[in-house]
Amino acid sequence: MSQHFGEHLTLDGYGGSAELLNDEALVKRLLNELPKELGMNALIEPLVVFAPENDLKDPGGWSGFVIIAESHISIHTFPKRGFISADVYTCQNGLDQEKIKRYFIDLFDLKDLEVNFVIRGTKYPDHNLI
């Protein structure tokens, strides 16, 4: 029997530094460094764009992602709310959740972190079907 296909960690961070959350270069640094820290391989340079305010719920911030051979990492910052929302999804098994949580907390000076962990592809075939 094979292992599951992958693991998906979602993070919602609260109480972060508005200055750090509004730093485009810092968001890009995260997307460059974190895959390497986790032994993953970027397939493209990270893309980071400013998402302008669009309604009362979203006061704007930086959105970025990097496609990795193992899947992707994405982040959305909301400086005016001290909030981040991020995903780390990989086909690797044994994702180092503590390392990832600590990385985000330290980088953005987060005061609280809400984490969800999902096992993906529990029925993933252990051989090619065609």
Amino acid at 15: G
Map tokens 């609260």 to a residue.
Answer: 14
Set 4, 8, 63, 91: catalytic member: 91
71 is a catalytic site residue: yes
Q: Which of 92, 123, 120 is nearest to 1 (CA)?
A: 123
Q: Active-site residue among 17, 63, 71, 127?
A: 71
Active site residue 17: no
8 included as an active-site residue:
no
Active-site choice (72, 76, 85, 127)? 76
Q: Is 129 helix (H, G, I), strand (E, B) or coil?
A: coil
DSSP state of 42: B
- Nearest of 66, 62, 57, 74 to residue 21 by alpha carbon: 62
Residues with a known catalytic role: 71, 76, 91
